[in-house]
Amino acid sequence: MTQLIFRSATRADVPEILALLEDDAIHRSRQQVVAERDDAACWAAFEAIDADPRNELIVAEDAGTVVGTCQLTFIPSLSRRGAERMTIEAVRVRTDLRGHGIGKAMMRWALDRARERGCGLAQLTTDKRRTDAHRFYAGLGFTASHEGMKLAL
Amino acid sequence: MTQLIFRSATRADVPEILALLEDDAIHRSRQQVVAERDDAACWAAFEAIDADPRNELIVAEDAGTVVGTCQLTFIPSLSRRGAERMTIEAVRVRTDLRGHGIGKAMMRWALDRARERGCGLAQLTTDKRRTDAHRFYAGLGFTASHEGMKLAL
C-alpha cells in the first residue's frame, strides 16, 4: 500500500464497486435466488445516492485503484436528543488485500465523518455467518446489542 | 379502537411522538446516560425528516389520538439489484394499548408502503433484551439473520 485515500465515489467507480459487492460468498448465495444484476437499476441507485445529501457512497483508493467501499446514510431522528444516526452498509475490502488494515482505516474515517456531522450513534448490521466481521467491528468499539432483522419483499 | 389511520406526522404530533419514545424502559436507561432531551434538536430533526423524501415519520391514529409511531427510511443501494431498502426505526405503540394489533397493523402498512416504492428489503434492529419484539417481528416474516451493532459517538 502506498497511501489510502477515502472519498465519495464517482460514476467511473461504479463498475469497481459492483465488482467488490459481488466478490462475496454471501452475496453470491443471495444472487442465485434474486437473479442477475439489473444494470439500469444500479445506475439509477448511484444517481440517487450521489444526489442525496444524506447518502454517501465511499471508496478507499490506493494508488489510483479502488480497494474498498462502504455506504453511509445519515438518518435524522427524534430519539437520542434529536441527533442524526449514521448507518453503514455494504462494507467491502478487496479479497486479496484483506488483513492489511484497509477496512479498519475506512471504518475509522467513516466514524470521524459521523462525528464531524454531530451524529450520536453509528450502526450497522452484519450477517450472523460473518464471525470475522463481528470481531472486526467489536475491535472498533461496536457492541452487538441488537438483533438485525430482515424481510425480503 | 374505532378505525386506525396511518399517516405522516405533522408538527402537531411531535409532543405525542416524543412521549411515546420516552415511555420505554430501555429508552429511559439510555437517557440517564445521555442527559435530558434537547427540544431544539428534536424540532430540527422533525423538520429534517419532514423535508426529506427518503424519510417518513409515521403515526397511527385512533379517533384523533396518536397511539403508535415509527420512522421509515428508504435507502438507495447498489446491492440487491439496485433496489431501495426500507429501514424501520423507533417503533412504538402506546403502552396501555399493546396487545390489540396496533403494532402489527402499523408494520403491515409500512411493509405495503415499501412494496409500493419497489423496495427489495425491509430491515430493522431491535434490542436483544426485547424478546417480545423479536417474536412480534418473526410473526411478520422477519428473520434475525444479522447482528445489529451499535457504537455511541
ipTM of the complex: 0.92
The cell numbers describing A108, all together, are: 475509522
User: Which residues in chain A are closer than 8 Å to B127, comparing Cβ atoms?
Assistant: 145-147
Q: Is residue A153 in a domain? A: no
Is residue A147 scored above 70 in pLDDT? yes
**Other residues' Cβ atoms within 10 Å of the Cβ of residue B14:** 20
Q: Is residue A35 in a domain? A: yes
Q: Is residue A28 in a domain? A: yes
Q: Of A140 and B38, which is predicted with more confidence?
A: A140
**Which of the residues B78, B87, B91, B128 would you substitute to probe the A interface, choosing the one with the greatest number of A C-beta atoms within 10 Å?**
B78
**Percent above pLDDT 90 for chain A:** 82
User: Which residues in chain A are closer than 8 Å to B111, comparing Cβ atoms?
Assistant: 151, 153
User: Who among B71, B75, B153 is closest to A55 (CB)?
Assistant: B75
Contact between A145 and B150 under an 8 Å Cβ cutoff? The reply is yes
What's the confidence (pLDDT) of residue B123?
A: 98
pTM over 0.90: yes
**Which residues, given as ranges, of chain B have pLDDT below 50?**
33-34
User: Tell me, what amino acid is at B66?
Assistant: V
Q: Of A66 and B82, which is predicted with more confidence?
A: A66
Contact between B72 and B113 under an 8 Å Cβ cutoff? The reply is yes
What's the confidence (pLDDT) of residue A21?
A: 93
What's the confidence (pLDDT) of residue A27?
A: 66
Is residue A105 scored above 70 in pLDDT? yes
What's the confidence (pLDDT) of residue A81?
A: 82
Average pLDDT over residues A25-50: 77
How far is it, in rounded angstroms, from Cα B136 to Cα B129? Answer: 13
What's the confidence (pLDDT) of residue A18?
A: 94
Question: Is the CB of A150 less than 8 angstroms away from the CB of B145?
Answer: yes
The cell numbers describing B130, all together, are: 426485547
What's the confidence (pLDDT) of residue A24?
A: 77
How far is it, in rounded angstroms, from Cα A104 to Cα A93? Answer: 10
Q: Indicate the pLDDT class of residue A80, thresholds 50, 70 and 90.
A: confident
The cell numbers describing A78, all together, are: 427524534
**Other residues' Cβ atoms within 10 Å of the Cβ of residue A143:** 13
Contact between B153 and B117 under an 8 Å Cβ cutoff? The reply is no
| Phi, psi (degrees; rounded to nearest 5) at A148 | -100, 110
- Residue B52's domain comprises 4-139
Pick from A37-41, A140-144, B42-46: least confident: A37-41
Q: Is residue B127 in a domain? A: yes
**CA of B107, closest CA in chain A: separation in Å?**
12
Q: Is residue B125 in a domain? A: yes
Q: Of A24 and B87, which is predicted with more confidence?
A: B87
What's the confidence (pLDDT) of residue B36?
A: 61
Q: Is residue B148 in a domain? A: no
User: Which residues in chain A are closer than 8 Å to B119, comparing Cβ atoms?
Assistant: 153
- DSSP-assigned letter for residue A31: H
Is residue A38 scored above 80 in pLDDT? no
Average pLDDT over residues A133-145: 97
State how many domains chain B has: 1
The cell numbers describing A136, all together, are: 472486526
What's the confidence (pLDDT) of residue B23?
A: 85
Average pLDDT over residues A64-87: 95
Is residue A153 scored above 90 in pLDDT? yes
What's the confidence (pLDDT) of residue A65?
A: 94
Question: What is the side-by-side order of every strand in the sheet holding B143-152?
Answer: A4-8, A55-62, A65-75, A85-93, A121-127, B143-152, A143-152, B121-127, B85-93, B65-75, B55-62, B4-8
Q: Is residue B36 in a domain? A: yes
Q: Is residue A107 in a domain? A: yes
- CATH number of the domain bearing residue B19: 3.40.630.30
